[in-house]
Structures are given as structure tokens and as C-alpha cells.
A and B are shown apart, each in its own frame.
Chain A
Amino acid sequence: MYLTAICKEGAIVPERLPFFSKQTVLIMNFVALFLLGACLQVTATGLGQMSLRSMNKPLGQVFNEIRKQTGYNFIYTADVLEKSKKVSVVLKNASITEVLAACFRDQPLTYSIIDKVVIVKAKEAGEQKRDLPALIIIRGKVTNDRNEPVSGVSVVIRGTSRGTVTDSAGDFSVGADRGNILVFSFVGYQSKEYIVGDASEVGIVLEESKRELNEVVVTALGIARQKRSLGYSTTEVGGDKFTQARETNLGNALTGQVAGVSVAGVATGPYGSSRVTIRGNSSLKGENQPLYVIDGVPLNNTNRGFAGPYGGSDFGDGLSTINPDDIQSIQVLKGAAAAALYGFRGGNGAILITTKSGSSSRGVTVELNNNFTANSVVDLRKDVQYEYGQGYNGEKPTSQYGASSSSFASWGAKMDGSQVINFDGEMYPYQGYQDNFKNFFQTGIANQSSIAVLGNSEKGNYRIGLSNMYQTPVTPNSNLKQQGVNFNSNFNVNKKLKVGLTANYVFEKVKNRASVSDAPGNIIAPAIYLASSFDIRWLKAAVDDNGNELVPNVDDPYTNNPYFVANYFQNASNRNRLTTGLTVRYELLDWLSVQGQLTRDGFSIDKKEVIPTGTGFLYGENGVLSQSTGNFREINGNINIEANKKFNKFSVRAIVGGNSLDNQYTESGVYGIRHFQVPYFYSPLNITNRPYQTSFSRFKVNSIYGSADLGFRDFLFLNLTARNDWFSTLNPASNNYLYPSASLSFVFSDLVTMPSWISFGKLRAAYAGSSNGTSPYLNKLSYTLEGFTIGDQPVGHIVQSSIPNQGLRPVKISEQELGLSMQFLNNRIGLDLAVYNKKTVDDILNVGVSTTTGYQANVVNIGKLRNKGIEALISATPVRTGRFTWNTSFNIAVNDNKVLALAPPDNNPVPVLDNDDNTARWGSGVSIQHVIGLPYAQIVGYAYKRNAAGQKVFDADGFPVSSDIVPVPLGSGIYKTTGGFYNEFSYKGINLSFLIDFKYGAKIYSGTNLLLYSNGQHINTLEGREAGFIGKGVTEDDKENTIAVRPQDYFYQITTGDYNIGEEFVYDASFIKFRSLSLGYSLPASILKKGFVKGLVFSLVGRNLWIIKKYTPNIDPESSYNNTNAQGLELSGYPSVRNLGFNVNVKF
């Protein structure tokens, strides 16, 4: 018997299949049906009722009509139609069952429905003779797939309330009409329908609902594995989570989405970088962000420039070049075990980004998306005062000079509206100007348009996505222009050979990234710190008559005029990036395949920064220029051989392969050159002596790896992997390291009969060893020449200031994890728990050595730290009716980090970064250090000295005394607890979703608040303006402190003076934020079905809408000024911005 399947756009089953066995054909039929079901379900959504008016029409025509209206398809043998009788029937708003029953009445045919396919067959000889009894009694037994009877199953005739339940033996009997549909349903099983035919005895096998049964996820190296077989924690985030209320930097969009993934907020503006860590920070000095892989191509995510204590701009990382519209899904491999096949790169976990392909398209589809947001500044300076105006010593400025040297001081007189001189000699009313933010910052806009063309055929599929992004941020005279092309294609050369090509090409131009942290060139700082009676618009002219900067404060020219910064300072970058991969896969045998892949990630970045002619702090010099070009590329080539076999109850999958990585970065340019010949001409050619600099860095890692998946009866899985890496960066005598992993998955719900409310249960356990790699050139001494001569003689020097270490090893990271994954109440509730313990040893530290060695530091494997924690994800569908669905999920993770060992001999704190970038600009001794026994990245500074009762101690002059002669740890800048609460409501075509996220357990040293105190702007400086400020506490002999100090002196002293107390400016950085909101409306299919448009979704979107809870006055707690390991320092960062807009998605 050969079948012909007729389906408008379905799979084609060949008419003659002599090569295949009967069994194969059946399997193929099943596959064909499965595919049919998959593609038809979509179009049939929302349909069901139909009307039919047929007068003597051939059955085939009627089938067509039914298909058009309901989406139900028909499969029948070629001779069926010949046998059929014409149909005459009139029905209105009838169910498919009724229609079919009517159409098949008196036909010599029988039919059954599987999913939405009607299979039509000729009746057997005996069947034809029977007439239809009005009511038949159907008896049957319900069993599960292990052939065990299932009791309590509800058996209902669809559309009626008639029915019964199975008894303890799984037996039932029910009376029904022929053509009726029996619905069998029971918690924990997939519902099943049975169309009553002539048989009176039926056996129903219910399949347990195992959502995870065949769910396949992408794991390390792009290997697709059954989700239930994974012995480690991974989380998938759908691409739709990134497209609505979007972020320019994809990393920032991950915040709150995945348990254990912490995204540090970096206040550097919309083009800045992100800092994503998974399960804490595992290296004291090295990389702590995960490996990003896009379609199998490792993506370089290095930050190309960041602000330090003395200012600077964030030049972004790799993640801002990914268009969310291209993302199919993101798989987060949290632990070392999940990322073990990445070897040395897996120590921080991995984030796998899969871009959309054309495989889901039917024919050619076009998708358009446009996302527009208007972005406005939120002035968080709620705790600043507008009672006392500009000036010092409680006095108003009385001269132009007095005014121009106090523009950032609010220690003046009580504001009374009287006429007072300002910095440019004009008189103005002495009153509060509360709108400096509003008056200076503008409403930014961000618009991203994407168009994608998708195609699919049996030869393969493709998707081409084009995007254009334009942004103007809240700071004036700045913009970002980004164009991207994303290409994803798969081509089946023949049955055995498949070729895939992906490419992501992005052009990005940014003008005037904001400089944050310290004041020079900082466009935000003046708006924050201008005196309470200073209107920022007085600075609008930007330059004086000579074209020189109109400096707001002559005593501090380093705080620039923001209008001058906007219009004269230059900061430009131009980045072209191509990330591409070619994959060739050949099926050697039905169980053996080989795959080769070549990938390249490369970009060039041109940067130009100009401090212009006329800048106040240049004192007449014609500007300063830095201009450079960087080129990055990483090439990976790998070959995988994969074998898949099943033996009875066992399944084996083995992969062996190798990878060769070649990574190179070069940069050349001029840095900080000055003495221009011609003013306003900022080119290296405008300088007679051009000190050209160049740098080069290259390393290779060769690897061989293997993975073995062993499965037993689909409920017990063991995955073993090993990867050996050879590093070019290490001494050849000891340059190879082995990274093993083992993980076990035990689906206990398949072994043991669970209570009915448990749908699924799995236990996981894993162990893995990993690393973090090493930097090149650390193990050899080398020399170079200075850029000058003396007496015409070249001058040499030793490149290294740290002693090269011949025996350097990569850091060792090992992690154990246990997990539990459960589904309850017919998968309505899901729970995923993970605990882990991650240990880092041999971390590479630059240990300071005596200068008498000739060097500053010794590079050694010495650091130890550990992260342990727990992660929980609860997801639920509290409501699911036909029209209304509510999905919700809550995730939380607690990470406990502890530094265990640092450098001997005395294990002193070590700076988080080797240069001075870990220090705070303001406050003595405040920096970020690692301290033994405490969590990562401690803010250290002076604390208040307190008596036994905890009261602050004040000296004889009324100033607070610090607790110790050396700075003390004041808390970690890394959050301990992170999580998110996501909700999605769907009602008909309306979809409402929002995300609330929270982080707890970190501190932040707020330089902004320090300066607000120092400048007399902070609301707390009001106390004692008239009578003097008396610190609450005791004197050194434990009597109550009664010494009154002028607030101006008191706060100067504790901020930047000799009595600096860092503790005062350390705040709890915890928060809860209403992060994003999306309200969407999908046009119903009924409206769309006849038109050209296949889908249209319109959404209102909002991001960073509301800080529900925070403990940091005047600033957003997520305000680090860079994404380095030195987290916990804040100063004059990018203001908080709220994004509101809309998203339109159209499919053709």
C-alpha cells in the first residue's frame, strides 16, 4: 500500500519507495505527519467552527473547502475519491466533527483524525455492511506508555458534559454516537482524542507529558543535546525578550533574566559596555565575563576604552554590535561543566547566541521591525538643597572674580532673590535653579529598523537581516549610527553534505561618547555640581570673544563648560566588524558524521579624541589629540567527528575533535600629542614631532577534545568531556593543560512513579575543571627602543616592569554543581534549583616586589578564591484558558564569594587592577582591593572611629576621627543577590509583559555624593548653616561632642580634606527596579488572512521606568563608571535615562 499525501505546503512522501522497508515508510509517515502538524497548527490557530454548503459536490472539493476554513488537512489513498459519493449537506457554525460526520455519512469510507490531519481510508469489506447504530457502547482501557493502567482519567464526549472516569484498572465504558470525539485527559499526561467509529473496544495509550522529553538545546561547541540529558544548569532566553524594550548593549538586556547572571550597571551612556558575570567573579585580576559565542563563532567582547578615576569614555565592547532582531535565542551555560568543552575559556561560563535562520519560513517571508524610543533624563538629585545659594562663607558673591571662583560652591547666603553678580559680571536674582538637568539635557531618540528576508526549501534555508540604528542620546551633539547585515544560511548539497554560512557585518559610527568620572571633558558633571543659584544656561555661549572656553570656575578649569564640551571637544569612533563562520557537515554513515568549521571574528576600530584649542585647562596650548586604529581578529578552525549509536536501552554519543585558535590585536596611533602648529586643526600632520606608537599582541591555543554521552533508558545520562589546551603564551616545556568534566542527569520521574501532581523530575550533578587563560608575553624578557635618541644614540629599555615568569600556569577553576529540575501540575509549575561551589586556585597576580629587584612586580600563580551559591527559577502558568494566559517566572541567585589567599608574605590587600584605575578620584586611600577572608573587590577607605557603644568619636576641633591609620574594608562592590520577576499576560491578541529585577548586597562609593557634600549642595549640609554643625557622637574622652564646626569646613574636611572619612560616602547599592514593560497587540489572523500581511504586532515599550527601591541618594545605584573588575566606584556618571517608545513588527 503506497500512500500519497496531499497537503498544500507539506512534506512530500514519494510515491514509490522501493529502497525503504515498510517500517521506514511508517516512520517517514510519522515524520511527515509531524511536520504537517507543525506547519498547519499555526494557520489553524483561532479557527475551529465552520460553515459548509455543499450541493452534490465531489468529496475532494468538500475537503478543499474544509481545509480552507479549518486548516484541517486530508490524507488519503489515490483510489479513495473514486469510491466516494458526492456530498450534499448544509451546516452552519458546525464543529469539524459534525462536518466530517455529515460528509462521511453513507460513504464507503472511514476516517480518523490525528492532530489536525484527517486520514481517510476505504472501509474494510465487513465495515461497509454495517449501518450506523444510534448509540454504541465503547469499552476500553487506558494505559500509559509503560503499559500500566491509568485510573481516574476523565473521558468526556467533546461538546457535551457526558462522560466517565477510568476505574482502578484503567477501564471505562461510555455510550456515544459514531463520529463523536472522546477526550481523555489526566494530569501529567497529554490529552488524547478518539473519534468514535465502529469499534466498541478501544485501547488508549496516554503519553506522559514530558515537556523536556524531546526539547533540544544548544550546548557548548554548538552541540544540540536533549535538555533532559543535561547534568548541568543552562537557561535559554528567547530572542523576543530582547526585541521589545531593548538595550543597545545586549549584555545589559540580560539583567534579571537568568538566575545567577549578574549584569553590573555601567553609567557610561547608551553606547557603553556591559559587565556580565555568571556565578560571581572567579579571577582576582583576570577576565570574569563569560565567553560569548554567536552561531558558533567566539565573539571578542573586550572593552575598547574605559574611564578611570581621572575620567575617560567607554568605547563599548562587542555586544553593542548585535541586533536583537536577529536573535533567535540565547543559551546561558552557567557553570564550568556546561562550558567545559570550551576548555580554558569556559571558566566563567558561556553565552551562546543563536541568530534566526530561515528554517521556520514557508517559502519566502519578509519581516519588518521598527523600534523607536524617546529617552529622557531622570534627575535623581532629590537630596540637594536650594536654600543657600552660590558662594563661600555664608556670603553672596560680591565681585565677578568672587562669582567666577565659586560657581560650584553652594556655601553662600540664604537665597533671597536679591540681585547678585554672576561669573560673567551680570546681575541676576539670587534664587534656586532646579532645572539644570532639564535645561541642559535633551530628549534622546533611538530608532532601530530591521528588515529580514527568509526563505526555505528542501535545498536549504537562508535569512538575511538588515538593520539600521540611529540614536541621539540625552547629551547634546552626540549620535550613533549603526548598520548591520546578518546572514544565516544552510544549504543541503545532498543528503549527506550540508553547508552552513553565517555572517554578521556591522558598521558603527559614534560621535561624542560622554566622558564620565572625573571632570575634564565630562559633560555631565557641571549639570550636577553647578551651585544651587547658578543657571546652567548662562554657560550656553560656550566661548568668549577670543574663542576660548567660557570657563565656569576660574579656580577649577578642569570642570569644563558643558556646552563647550558638547560643541568643541571631539570623541569619535568608527568600528567595522565582521563575525562569520562556515560549517561543513558530512554524514559518513547513518551513525557517524564529521564536521569542519572555520570562524573569524574581526573588527577594526578608529578612535579620535580631541581636547580642543581654547580649553581652559590647556592654558593657551592648541589642543591635545589621541588618534588610533586598532585591528582585531580571531580565527578558529575546528573539526568534530561525531558518532551516535543506540544499543537496546543504552545510547551513546561520542564526539572527538580539535580546535585551533589564533588571536591577534594590533593598535597604532598617536596618544596625547600636543603643540599643534595651526590652531583648530586636529591632525597628527599638524605636529612636527609625531610620536607614533604601535602595539601588538598575538596568541594561539590548540586543543583536542572529546565528549561522550551515555544514556540509559532515556532517564539516566552521563556526559564526560575532556579538553586539552596547548598555549603559545606559556613555556613550551609545560604549556598544556587538561580540562575534564563529568555530569550526570537522572530523570527520576521516569524511574519511580510520582504522585500525580509531579509531572517531571530530574536531578543533576556535575564537576568540571576550567581556566581563564593567560596573556601573551609574560614569560620572556624582551627589549625595545625609546622613541628618542641622546647624542644620536638609540636608547634601549626592558619592556617588562613585572618579572617575566617562565613557569607561569593558567589559573585553575574547578566547579561542582548539583541541580534539581521539577515540573508540577501538568507542567503548569516549574522549578529549577542549582547549587554550586566554584574554586579558583593559582590565580595570576602581579605581586609587588622590592624595586631593588629592578622590577615592580612578580607575575605569579598565587591567588585563591571561591564562589558558592544557589540559584532558583520558579516558572508558572497560573492561568491558561482559551483566551487568557498568564505566565510568570521568578528567579533569584545568591552568590557567596570569598578571597582565600593573596600574595605572601603578608597577604596584604591587593589592588583589583594593576594600574591606578582601582583608586577613587576623591577621598584619601579609597580604592578597590581584594582582602583575604572577605568578598571580592572591597571598597577600602577610612571608617569613623567609634566608641564601644558605636558612637562616632570627634576630636577637640569637632572633626570626626578615623578608625585606623590604614584604610579598612567598607564592603564589596559586587552584588551578592540578584534576580528578576517576569510576568506575561496574553488576552486574545493583547500581550502585556513586564520585568522587575533586583540586586542586593553590594556597596558603592559615591563620588557624586561626596562632591555634593563638599560643594554644599547635599541636603545634609543644611544642618548648622547658621549655628554650626555639631557631629553626633562623643569626644575622645567619651563625653558628648558639643563642638560646632562651620558646615563648609566640616564637609570640606571629611570629603577632600585631612579628615576624609570614606565610610560616609559608601552606600548600600541594593535596588529593585521596574526594568521593562511591553504592551503589544497582534492583529488577529481573521483580519490578516486574506491580505498580503501575515502578521502585525504593535507594542508600546518602556525600559528603566522606575526605581522602586534604592538606598543611594541622588544617584542610580547602578552607576559604576567602567566595567572593569574594580566595581564599586561611582563619580559623575551618565544620568539615569528612561526609555519609552513603540515597536512595530510586520511579517509578509
Chain B
Amino acid sequence: MKKIITLKYLLILVTLFFSSCDKDFELINTNPNSLGQDVFKYNYLFTAAQLYTAGNSDGYSRGIWEGSLSYASTFMQQLSSTSGFWYGDKYVFNNDYLSAFWLTQFGTSVKSITDVISNINGKEDQGNFLQIARILKVFIFQRITDQYGDIPYFQAGKGFSETLTDPVYDSQAVIYDDMLAELEDAVGKLDPDAPNTLGDADLFYKGDVTQWTKFAYSEMLRLAMRMSKVDPEKAKTWAGKAASGGVMETNDDNAIIYHETNDALTENPVGAEVITREPASYRLSKTLIDFLKNKNDPRLPALATVVEDPEELDDPGNTDPLVQLGQANGYDFRGGATDLSNSPGWTGNQNDFSIINRTTFARVDAPSFLLTAGNTQLLMAEAAQRGWISGSAADYYAVGVVQSILQLNQAGAGIAESDAEVYLAANPWLAADGIRQINEQYWVATFGDWLETWSNWRRSGYPELVPVNYEGNITNGSIPRRFTYPIDEARVNPKNYSAAVNSINGGDKITSRVWWDSE
């Protein structure tokens, strides 16, 4: 009997021993250096989503450097390069570069903004925050789908929240419909009387609902105008909604990320690349310089400079418009027919050709312009000229040109408003040539945001660029119209990837076209 009692006490002892140290058992698997979903402030993740949309100069910059700089800027003949790794200059295929924008945007901006939305949805007092996040999400997705066409949209970014590990690709037409509906719904739910819980975490507007309303309608207009070729009726409908909702009118409305130098992740990906990493590997394109020079554009000194040696980073160079020279696209240093010495305007010294101005855009902390009044007003001008909205195309054009020029002052240029007016007077809108004029202005006005430059060029066809035809190029001498999917998708999402590839007319190639870029 005694033995049994002893055993009983022992078992009680064992039980006590283990239960006493187990009160925190379930809490242990929370890293004290991280925050759980219940306590995290999603404002911080919204800030991240905005910042990463603009890119940065860390590993994530690959999206902007490889997609926008190396490819789009040279497709669009604003920059030019003799270096092999600026693949866009000669339409050379490189899947790593072409997929970089996809990989970095889905991995940062999409990941962040979808997580913000899934966590604040339905939370008290976060109404405006949620609507603003939905608007930003549309903007983020537009930039991706415009480059790649059909992409995972409805199921994207939900690897954790909905355990969707093999997202289905949605057709761009459907994505556009949903993006427009989302904008309309979200902007309609913005409530100026509701508390501003986002505040300073919003790098664009500090949570100002009025500003976000303008941003949403401007984005709606951009989406609408993108459909001008493929579905003019729908374009008209949505352009009308945007115009009546109220779009951006002055540069105070611009959505800008002001980059900083305190960390690679806060740096301007374009600025960092062209000043600290590859200062000598590119030049401004002859096409751009000639265009600006011919029209005595006051933007020329703000965009271009000539330095004796681009590797001398401290030298601001000579910004006198007269000395600016553009380097032709499609040349190399290999001694053949396409050797730079055979290029038009060759001077004998590559350093005679302009690089990006080091006080405006070729700065590590240069601002990123994401959506601006200048661009928006130019699109309004085209919508008006097409008769899709009321108002005078000439007036919209005038505002668009002037605001586009003065926008550079937000990047550190010092252009007088009078100079902009002089330029406008010298280059007035002419109805007969309006569409071309508007889109050529759009081409210049989007300098630095070359994915947008390229998208609008694909839609409008302006300016009429003469493609380079470099030996061995894979586009048969035509400017590419699309980025290809990351080949890794074939490994990790094979079923949906092949369905998407099969539905592309012409296949997963850089010469194939996205839905709105109909021939």
C-alpha cells in the first residue's frame, strides 16, 4: 500500500514539474524580435508598398534597373548604350532582365499591399486606409500587367492569407475591368469625415482623402486611355467617369517618392544606377537630345550634361544646351558596321555625348514620379480631342505641357514658369496633329519613368521611332512590345504558366503584344 502511495506522489510530482514550466509554451513560437499579425501596425507596410513600387537600389532595384533602364529607356531611345548589358539598346533577349520587374514587384509591392488589405479589411476606423490601399494596389498591378499582359491578379500575393500557391493567370482584359471597378468602388467609399489613420505613413499625400480621390481618377483615366486602341467605347466610358470625378491638375497633386541616401532600399534605383554603378556605360539618346534641341526645350539643361569623364562622380559637367549631344542607339565598340565610330554625329570621343544631369535625375536621392498632373493633363487633352470628355483639348494640352516642364523643379531643376510658357507658345497644340503632339509630349514628360513611356508609346505609336536593326537581334528590327515571363514560372507554376503562354498570340516573346496593344 505504501508503495502505491509513493508512486502516486511521484506521478503528481512529475506532472507538476512539467505543467509549471508550460504556461508560456504556446507563446514561445513568437519571435520577440518580430511582431505578430495582431499587434503589427500596417501603416508601416503601406509605406513599404509605396517605396517598393518606385523601386530602390538594393537587390530589389533589379526590377527598375533591368526592366526600366536597361530595356525600356533604350527601346524608347531616351538613353543609349554601347555596353552589352544594356540589352534593350539592341533588343537582345535576356530572361533574367526581362523578368526582374515581375519578380521584384510581386515579391515586394504586391506582397506588401495584398497583406495590408487582407489584414485591415473590416477593421474599425481603417475605412479610408483600406480604400487608399485598394487604389494603390490597382496602380501597382497596372504597372505589372502593362509590361507582361496576362498575369496572376485575383490570386496573386495570397500565398499566406489564402494559401494560394499556384496562382491562376488572369487575362489582361479582365484585370482591366476589375481594376477600373476597384477604383470606382474604392474612391466612392473614401470618406473625408472619417479619421485619417494612415497619416504620415502615406508618402504621397499623408492620408489626404481629397488628394487620393484625384490620384484614383487620374489612374482611372490612365487605364481608360490605355484601352484607346482595343476598346474605344470602354475607354470613353471610363475616361468620362475619371474626368467627372476630378483628376490631378497641378504638380502639387503629383504622387512622388522622395528618395533618401540612408539605405540602399531608400535610394532612387535609376539615380543610383546611373551615378554610382554604371556612370559611363550609357549616354542620352540622339533621338531625345535632337527632339529637345529642335524645340529649344527648357528641359534640356535639366536633363542633360556633358562631363569630361563620367567616372568623375563629383563633376556636374556642362549643362549648356548648345554642347549637348545624343548618342545614336544600336552601336557598339566592336569595330564592325555598328561600331560607334560609324554612328551619326560621332565626334571621336564618347565623352562628348550627354549623360543625365547630376543635379536632377542622376542623383542617388532623385525623386521618383509615379503619377503626375502633367501626364494626366496630356491624357485629358487626348481624351478631349477624341471627344470622349468635355472641355478643350488645347487647354488640357497647355496645362499638361507647362506642368510637365515645371515638374522637373520637384527634381531640383530651376525652370522659370515663363520659360515653360515660351516653350508652349512656340509649340502650340494643332488639332490636325494633336494626337502626335500630345503623345510626343507624354514621351518627354515621362523621362525617368520609362515603363510608362514605353506603354504609352505602344498604345499611341508616338513618337515615331526608327528601330535599330542590330545584327542578330531577335525582333527582326522592331521595337519589342512586351516583357517575357520569368522562366522559373514554368518550374513553380507550370500548369497556369503554360495556359498563359498558350493564350498569347505569338507566344511568350518580346515581340508579342499585350491585350490593349492591338495591332
Q: Which residues of A contact B (CB under 8 A)?
A: 588-589, 592, 594, 637, 639, 641, 656-658, 660, 662, 689, 694-700, 702, 704, 726, 728-730, 732, 776-777, 779-800, 803-804, 848-856, 858, 905-906, 908
Which residues does chain A contribute within 8 Å of B167, judged by CB atoms?
850, 852-853
A796 and B166 within 8 A (CB): no
Choose from B45, B152, B257 the contact partner of A783 (Cβ within 8 Å): B45
Compute how far the CA of A853 lies from the CA of B258 in the bound complex, rounded to whole angstroms: 29
Residue among B13, B157, B159, B494 with the highest chain A CB neighbour number at 10 A: B159
Q: Can you list 8 A-B contacts with CB-CB less than 8 angstroms, sorted by A residue number?
A: A639-B17, A697-B31, A730-B29, A787-B263, A799-B31, A850-B496, A851-B106, A852-B157
Binary per-residue interface labels of chain B (18-39) against chain A in the complex, 1 for a CB within 8 Å, 0 otherwise: 1001100110111111111100
Which residues does chain B contribute within 8 Å of A790, judged by CB atoms?
47, 51, 203, 257-260, 266
Nearest residue in B to A695 (C-beta to C-beta)?
A: B33
A784 and B34 within 8 A (CB): yes
A702 and B18 within 8 A (CB): yes
Compute how far the CA of A656 lies from the CA of B13 in the bound complex, rounded to whole angstroms: 13
Which residues does chain B contribute within 8 Å of A852, judged by CB atoms?
102, 106, 110, 151-152, 155-157, 167, 493
**Is residue B85 within 8 Å, beta carbon to beta carbon, of the partner chain?**
no
Compute how far the CA of A905 lies from the CA of B497 in the bound complex, rounded to whole angstroms: 13
A850 and B492 within 8 A (CB): yes
Compute how far the CA of A791 lies from the CA of B368 in the bound complex, rounded to whole angstroms: 14
Nearest residue in B to A787 (C-beta to C-beta)?
A: B263
A853 and B164 within 8 A (CB): yes
Compute how far the CA of A637 lies from the CA of B157 in the bound complex, rounded to whole angstroms: 44
B102 and A851 within 8 A (CB): yes
**Is residue B486 within 8 Å, beta carbon to beta carbon, of the partner chain?**
yes
A788 and B266 within 8 A (CB): yes
Q: Which of B111-119, B180-188, B295-303 forms part of the interface with chain A?
A: B111-119
Choose from B159, B486, B495 the contact partner of A855 (Cβ within 8 Å): B159
Which residues does chain A contribute within 8 Å of B111, judged by CB atoms?
798, 854-855
Which residues does chain A contribute within 8 Å of B152, judged by CB atoms?
850, 852
**Is residue B41 within 8 Å, beta carbon to beta carbon, of the partner chain?**
yes
**Is residue B488 within 8 Å, beta carbon to beta carbon, of the partner chain?**
yes
**Is residue B40 within 8 Å, beta carbon to beta carbon, of the partner chain?**
yes
Binary per-residue interface labels of chain B (133-157) against chain A in the complex, 1 for a CB within 8 Å, 0 otherwise: 0000000000000000001100111
Compute how far the CA of A277 lies from the CA of B266 in the bound complex, rounded to whole angstroms: 46
Sorted nearest first, the 10 A-B pairs with minimum C-beta distance are A796-B44, A853-B159, A854-B111, A788-B263, A782-B34, A850-B493, A852-B152, A728-B28, A854-B157, A783-B40
Choose from B28, B43, B112, B156 the contact partner of A853 (Cβ within 8 Å): B156
Given A850-B167, A853-B165, A795 and B47 contact (CB-CB distance below 8 Å) = yes
Nearest residue in B to A860 (C-beta to C-beta)?
A: B165
Distance of B472 from chain A, by nearest CB (Å): 16
Nearest residue in B to A801 (C-beta to C-beta)?
A: B107
Given A660-B17, A797-B45, A588 and B29 contact (CB-CB distance below 8 Å) = no
Given A694-B33, A852-B151, A852-B157, A791 and B44 contact (CB-CB distance below 8 Å) = no
**Is residue B190 within 8 Å, beta carbon to beta carbon, of the partner chain?**
no
Which residues does chain B contribute within 8 Å of A658, judged by CB atoms?
14, 17-18
Distance of A932 from chain B, by nearest CB (Å): 15
Compute how far the CA of A658 lies from the CA of B10 in the bound complex, rounded to whole angstroms: 12
Which residues does chain B contribute within 8 Å of A732, judged by CB atoms?
26
Choose from A776, A788, A855 the contact partner of B29 (Cβ within 8 Å): A776
A858 and B40 within 8 A (CB): no
Which residues does chain B contribute within 8 Å of A639, judged by CB atoms?
13-14, 17
**Is residue B471 within 8 Å, beta carbon to beta carbon, of the partner chain?**
no
Do most interface residues of chain A lie in helix, strand or loop, or is the interface mixed? strand
Compute how far the CA of A392 lies from the CA of B441 in the bound complex, rounded to whole angstroms: 55
Which residues does chain A contribute within 8 Å of B103, judged by CB atoms?
851
Question: Besides A696-B32, A791-B200, 5 other CB < 8 A contacts?
Answer: A783-B40, A783-B45, A784-B35, A786-B48, A796-B112
Nearest residue in B to A797 (C-beta to C-beta)?
A: B48
A698 and B266 within 8 A (CB): no
Compute how far the CA of A799 lies from the CA of B163 in the bound complex, rounded to whole angstroms: 17
Distance of A884 from chain B, by nearest CB (Å): 55
Nearest residue in A to B2 (C-beta to C-beta)?
A: A589
A700 and B25 within 8 A (CB): yes
Given A658-B14, A796-B47, A804-B160, A786 and B26 contact (CB-CB distance below 8 Å) = no
Given A795-B44, A849-B166, A854-B106, A905 and B494 contact (CB-CB distance below 8 Å) = yes
**Is residue B120 within 8 Å, beta carbon to beta carbon, of the partner chain?**
no
Within B311-361, the residues touching A (CB, 8 Å) are: none
Compute how far the CA of A847 lies from the CA of B37 in the bound complex, rounded to whole angstroms: 24
A702 and B160 within 8 A (CB): no
Given A699-B29, A783-B35, A791 and B203 contact (CB-CB distance below 8 Å) = yes
Nearest residue in B to A641 (C-beta to C-beta)?
A: B10
B166 and A799 within 8 A (CB): no
Nearest residue in B to A786 (C-beta to C-beta)?
A: B265
Compute how far the CA of A1010 lies from the CA of B158 in the bound complex, rounded to whole angstroms: 45
**Is residue B3 within 8 Å, beta carbon to beta carbon, of the partner chain?**
yes
Compute how far the CA of A783 lies from the CA of B25 in the bound complex, rounded to whole angstroms: 21
Compute how far the CA of A613 lies from the CA of B44 in the bound complex, rounded to whole angstroms: 38
A796 and B45 within 8 A (CB): yes
A791 and B265 within 8 A (CB): no
A726 and B489 within 8 A (CB): no
Which residues does chain B contribute within 8 Å of A783, judged by CB atoms?
34-37, 40, 44-45
B491 and A908 within 8 A (CB): yes
Nearest residue in A to B157 (C-beta to C-beta)?
A: A854
B33 and A853 within 8 A (CB): no
Binary per-residue interface labels of chain B (167-210) against chain A in the complex, 1 for a CB within 8 Å, 0 otherwise: 10000000000000000000000000000000011010000000
Compute how far the CA of A777 lies from the CA of B31 in the bound complex, rounded to whole angstroms: 7
Binary per-residue interface labels of chain B (251-262) against chain A in the complex, 1 for a CB within 8 Å, 0 otherwise: 000000111101
